[in-house]
Amino acid sequence: MGEQLRYFLTEIKEKIEEQLPRHIDKLAAPQTLKEAMVYSLNAGGKRVRPALVLATLKSFGKPVDDGFDVACAIEMIHTYSLIHDDLPAMDDDDLRRGKPTNHKVFGEALAILAGDALFTYSFELIATMQGVSAEKKLLLVQEIAKASGPEGMVGGQVADMEGENQSLSIDELMYIHEHKTGDLLSASIISGAIIAGATSNDLINLKMFAKELGLMFQIKDDILDVEGDAETIGKPIGSDDGNNKSTYPNLLGLDGAKAKLNEHKDKAREHLAKVNMDQQLLLALTNYVAERDH
């Protein structure tokens, strides 16, 4: 792992994890609500979405400090989706990353409201950013709202829910992952590019790059569910299989899933090569997504 990539996956991660609770602590809101919001924000994770926002900014030669508020906002949206995913009405999970899920600690009603609060506050955070024009803020809100709404993450979650206990086609599986996982990853990259003032042509190529990266992320998760180390990835091996979910290895076989991963990796590199930026950091992140062990 190169030094620059290590910086984004360790030091930037630490800075994001310092800033996230500070944003919540300053709110004039009920203390129990703030505790529930911070509990899930502090639950850990790779912080891939914030890293993508800031890595894209850096790749366009802009200061990473310009993107911390957007990076935190996107991580709040991701966290809200996990709180709601874990609820009894959804995936009914008792643990996330080895800790009791939000509703197990705070009860279902407060967990729902904590998720709602993280989602809505994320847009307030973007709207009140300093040093970013009103036009760019509007573009950021539009991009992130679409990625997290009915045409994005929520739509993907519905398709995923409706696809349980069914044998899905590759196209149906791609639709779920493109929207449930990929759209918010894509919005992270595009948000960094918007703040950096990227051209429309660069935005188009970055969107195509980000789509491939999102699919890579999910295929690798499916592969790790088959052959990963349970302690390293933080969940039992084969849990998706046990939950009767269609996965890439189930549909294509393990070797076929690995070939599909490499196919999307090659496409991602092709799209990235067309963007007028220093491509090395995002290229390193692409390799990391394909080669990670958790």
Report helix angle 183-196 to 153-162, nearest 10: 170
| pLDDT tens, residue by residue, 11-69 | 899 999 999 999 999 999 999 999 999 999 999 888 999 999 999 999 999 999 999 99
pTM across the whole model: 0.93
Ordered DSSP codes for 88-149:
TTTT--SEETTEE-HHHHH-HHHHHHHHHHHHHHHHHHHHT-SSS-HHHHHHHHHHHHHHHS
Contact by Cβ (8 Å): 217, 182: yes
- Residue 193, pLDDT score: 98
d(CA 117, CA 131): 25
- Residue 231, pLDDT score: 53
When the pLDDT of each residue in the chain is averaged and rounded to a whole number, the result is: 92
CA atoms in the 13 A half-sphere facing the CB of 224: 20
Rg for the chain (alpha carbons), in Å? 18
| pLDDT tens, residue by residue, 153-174 | 999 999 999 998 888 999 999 9
The alpha carbon dihedral of 31, 117, 20, 66 has a sign of negative
- Which one, of 261, 267, 252, lies nearest residue 291 by Cα? 261
First to last CA, the chain: 15
d(CA 50, CA 52): 5
**95: domain CATH number?**
1.10.600.10
| pLDDT tens, residue by residue, 182-240 | 999 999 999 999 999 999 999 999 999 999 999 999 999 999 999 866 455 444 545 45
Percent of the chain with pLDDT over 70: 94
- The total number of structural domains in the chain stands at 1
Instruction: Write out the residue range of the structural domain in which residue 137 sits.
Output: 3-291
